[in-house]
Structure 1
Amino acid sequence: MPKKVDPAVKERAIRMVAEHRGDYRSLTAVAQVVAEQLGLGKETVRRWAVQADIDAGARPGVTSEESAEIKKLKAENRRLREDNEILRKASNFLRRGARPPQPLIMSFIEDMRAEGHAVESTCRVLTAHGCSVAARTYRAWRRSNQPVAARTVSDAMIVDALLATVGTPEGLYGRRKMTAHLRRQGLDVAHCTVDRLMRDLGMNGVRRGKKLRTTIPGRDGHRAGDLLDRDFTATAPNTRWVADFTYVRTWAGFVYVAFVVDCFAQRIVGWHAATTKVTDLVLTPVRIAMWDRDRHGHPIEPGTLVCHSDAGSQYTSLRYTEHLALEGIAPSIGTVGDAYDNGLMESIIGLYKTEAIATDVFHEGPFKTLVDVEYATAGWVDWWNYRRLHSSIGQIPPAEHEHDYYAALDREPHPV
C-alpha cells in the first residue's frame, strides 16, 4: 500500500486550488485540474479544499481540530468501556486481596485474548488494580513450551566466553583477534557473529592514540565523493538520481524550485518550491520521490540508489546526508563550480526555465507569488513526465519508457 501523502504535497494542492478557484466554474472543476497535475485523486483534492474552508471559517462544518478531538474522545471512551469489561470479569480473583498465582493470571489473559481484548489492555487493567503483570511476561509464558533456537544457544555460549575476557588481557582484542581467541577456545564462530555480539555488549578492542592534527579543514571541506563521474545514464530506474534547484523571480521575491530526476528515463520523480533556501527545500523532493515510487509499486531498495547533486550547502548539510543514510541512499557530490559534474540536471533546469517560466504556456501573466510558480511547475512536470518526447530515450515520454522497462521484466515466458 502507498505511504501517507506527504504534507508538502497536500499544502501545495490546497494553495493551488485556493489561488485558481475563481478561474473555474466550481470547486470540483479546479480540484480535478490540480489533481491531474499533481497525480492525485480528484475527490481527495476536493475534500482537502473543503476541509481548508471549514478550518478557515468560510464554510460550516467540523474543523480538523474538532475532528481530532472527537476522535480522541471516542478512543478514550472505547478504552474505558474495554477496561470496565475486563475489570468486571477480573473481579473474581482480584477481590481476594493477595496476588493470584501466575498460572491463574496467564489463564485469565488468555481468556480475554480469546474474546478479542488486546493483551496490553488486559495487563494495563490488572496492573492498575494491584496485580502487576507485563505483556512480555505473558508472551514469554506462551513461548515456554517451544524449543529454544540453536542460534540462541550458540549466542549464549559465545556471550559467556566474551564476558569471561572482561578484565583480562584478552579483553583488549578487537573483532578479528577475539574471533581467533574464541576459536582457540574450541568455539566454532564466525567474524560476523563475534562482531554482532561484541557490538551488542558494547565491547571494543583497544585502539592506538590518534595523531594530533595541526591543520583543520573548513566546515565544508568534507563531503561525499562523485560517484557518477559525469555518467548520467542508468540501466534501470531507481539506481541513479540527480538533484538541483533553481530560482524564479516573482513580485513577492525569489521562489526556489528543487527537482529530483531519475537518470534512467529522465523522469522528474519529485519537486518542491519554497521561498527560502533551507535544507527542507532539497529534502522534501527526495521524500516526495520516494513516496511517489512506492505508491506506483516500485519502492526504493536500500543500497541500490545513488543520489547525485552539486556541492551546495543544502546538499552537504548534516540533516540531508543523514536522511539519505537512513533511507539507504548513497550520496554523490560533484566538484565546486563545475556545471558539467551535474550536467543532466543543469540541462533540465535550463529547459524548465525556458519552457515553463519564460513562456505563458503553463501560467498566464507574471509570476506574483509562490502559488503561481507551483501552478506552472506542476503543469510542466506533468507534461515532461507523461507527454513530452525525449530524443535520448527514442522520442517517447519518460513514463512510457519506464513502463516499457517494467513490462519487459514482467513478460510471461513462452511455452516450450
Structure 2
Amino acid sequence: MVMKHYPAEFKADAVALYRSRPGATIAQVADDLGINRETLRSWVRADDQRRGASGGPAASPAAGSVEDENAALRRRVRELEEERDILRKAARYFAGGDALVNRFQFVADHQARYGVKRLCQVIGVSRSSFYYWRSAADARAARQAADVALVGRIRAVHAEHDGTYGAPRITAELRDVGLPVNRKRVARVMRRFGVQGLRLRRRVRTTVPDPAAAKAVDLIGRDFTAGRPNQRYVGDITYLPVGDRGFLYLATVLDLHSRRLAGWAIADHMRTDLVIDALNAAQRTRGSLHGAIMHTDHGAQYTSRAFAEACTAAGVRQSMSAVGSSADNAAAESFNATFKRETLQGRRAFTDEREARLTAFRWLHRYNTVRRHSRLGQQSPITYEKSTRTAPATLAAAA
C-alpha cells in the first residue's frame, strides 16, 4: 500500500520479509510491497545497526592503522568462510523431521571440529538447550523404542478396522486388551508414523450470525461495482490453517471500484476487534471513508454494536447481505478463495504462524501493487486507480 508515513509494525514486517527470502534483493521486495527501494534499504540498515551488525568491519583500535584494518578484514573473511562451510553442511540436516532436533544433531555431529559455541551461534540455537537435549539422549532412546513397539499395536488395530479408526477408538481397543495407554500418546505416535483414521474434512466456520443483533439493509444488491474509488467496500473474514490444528484469521476491506485491498488485519481470534482493525487500516489508507458503503455478511462481528459505532465514527454506511447467501458477498468470497489458493498452493496448512503471517504480508501487498487482475484489464489495483484518475471515461467503459 502507498503511504506517506509507515507504522513501526509495517517496517518490522517488511524487514522480516526481506530477511526470510535469502534469494530476493531489496529492489524485488520493495517492488512487491509498493515502497521506495531506498526506503526499504534504510530500514534494513537501521535494523542491522540495532542488532549490532551494521555490516562494516570493526573499527581499528589504532585509528588509521592500515595493518590492523587489514588484519580485521582477514579475520572477518575467515569467519564468513567458516560460517558458509557450516551452513552448507547444516543444510543436509534440515530436509525433514523436527527442525530443532535436526539442529541439535548437527551440533553434536560437528562439535569436535567447530566447537559447540560457534555452531550454536551460526545455526541459531541456545547452548543450554543443546546440552539439555544431549543429556536426555538415553531417555529419548527408551521413548523411541517404546513408540516403535506401540505403533506396531496401533497398526494392527488400524488394519483390523479397515483403516477407519482414529486415536480415540484405537485407544479404547488397546485398553480393552489390557494396554494402559493415554489417548494423547496414541495420537502423537500416529502423527509421527503417518497413521491416519478416516475422517471428514472439518469446515471452519467464520460467519456466525447473532440472531438478536440489529441488521443493516442491503445497499449493494449484488452490484459489485463502483464508479470511483472510496465509494463502495466489501468486508469479510477468512481463516489461515496453521500446522495440524491451528488457525489465524484474516479480515479484509476491498474497494469495489479497483478491487484494491484498502485495509486488512490478521489475528489468532475472530473477535470484533479484528474487523474494526481492518476498517481502521482502510481509513488510514484512504485518509477518510466518509460517505462510503461497507457491505458485509451477517457475522456476529459485523452486526456487533462496537463495529456499528466504528462505522459511524468513520462516516461509513453499513450494508449487509442476506443470511446464508454467499452470492450476496461474492466479491469478498472470490478474493478469499484467490488468496488461499495462491498462498497455500495445494498445501493443507502453513508450517507455522510466522510463515503464515509473512506469506500473507507479502501476497496482500503484491496483490495491490503487482498482481494483475482480470477485471481491471490485467492491471494491478493501484495501477488501475492511477490510470482511472488520468482517463476515467475510457477505463470506466473498459471495466
* TM-score normalised over the length of structure 2: 0.51
Q: Which runs of 5+ in 2 are unaligned?
A: 55-209, 395-399
User: After the TM superposition, which residues 17-416 of structure 1 pair with which residues of structure 2 at under 5 Å, given as runs?
Assistant: 17=18, 20=20, 23-24=22-23, 29=25, 32-45=27-40, 48=43, 58-59=51-52, 220-251=212-243, 253-293=246-286, 299-300=287-288, 302-303=290-291, 305-359=292-346, 367-408=350-391
- Give the partner amino acid of 1:278: R
Aligned residues: 237
CA shift for structure 1 position 292: 2.6
- Give the partner amino acid of 2:213: G
Q: Residue 271 of structure 1: SS of its match in structure 2?
A: strand
CA shift for structure 1 position 228: 0.9
- Give the partner amino acid of 1:312: G
- Of all paired residues, the percent bearing the same amino acid is 31
Q: 2 CA distance for matches of 1:279 and 1:396?
A: 33
Q: Is the 8 A contact 1:310 1:334 kept in 2?
A: yes
Q: Residue 331 of structure 1: SS of its match in structure 2?
A: strand
Q: Is the 8 A contact 2:234 2:329 kept in 1?
A: yes
Q: 1 CA distance for matches of 2:343 and 2:247?
A: 16
CA shift for structure 1 position 36: 3.2
CA shift for structure 1 position 325: 1.3
- Give the partner amino acid of 1:347: S
Q: Is the 8 A contact 2:33 2:366 kept in 1?
A: no
CA shift for structure 1 position 359: 4.7
CA shift for structure 1 position 323: 1.9
Aligned partner of 1:5 in structure 2 is 6
Q: Is the 8 A contact 2:234 2:295 kept in 1?
A: yes
Q: Is the 8 A contact 1:307 1:330 kept in 2?
A: yes
Q: Residue 277 of structure 1: SS of its match in structure 2?
A: coil
Q: 2 CA distance for matches of 1:384 and 1:398?
A: 8
Q: Is the 8 A contact 2:238 2:250 kept in 1?
A: yes
Q: Residue 265 of structure 1: SS of its match in structure 2?
A: coil
CA shift for structure 1 position 232: 0.8
Q: CA 1:12–1:318 in structure 2 vs 1: closer, same or farther (change >3 Å)?
A: farther
Q: 1 CA distance for matches of 2:9 and 2:258?
A: 25
CA shift for structure 1 position 250: 1.4
- Give the partner amino acid of 1:302: H
Q: Is the 8 A contact 1:279 1:315 kept in 2?
A: yes
Q: Is the 8 A contact 1:230 1:340 kept in 2?
A: yes
Q: 1 CA distance for matches of 2:378 and 2:283?
A: 26
Q: CA 1:291–1:38 in structure 2 vs 1: closer, same or farther (change >3 Å)?
A: farther
CA RMSD for the aligned pairs?
A: 3.4
- Give the partner amino acid of 1:279: T
Q: Is the 8 A contact 2:13 2:358 kept in 1?
A: no
Q: Is the 8 A contact 2:259 2:381 kept in 1?
A: yes
Q: CA 1:320–1:244 in structure 2 vs 1: closer, same or farther (change >3 Å)?
A: same
Q: CA 1:229–1:319 in structure 2 vs 1: closer, same or farther (change >3 Å)?
A: same
Q: Residue 372 of structure 1: SS of its match in structure 2?
A: helix
Q: Residue 391 of structure 2: SS of its match in structure 1?
A: helix
Q: Which runs of 5+ in 1 are unaligned?
A: 62-217, 294-298, 412-416
* TM-score normalised over the length of structure 1: 0.49
Q: CA 1:290–1:34 in structure 2 vs 1: closer, same or farther (change >3 Å)?
A: farther
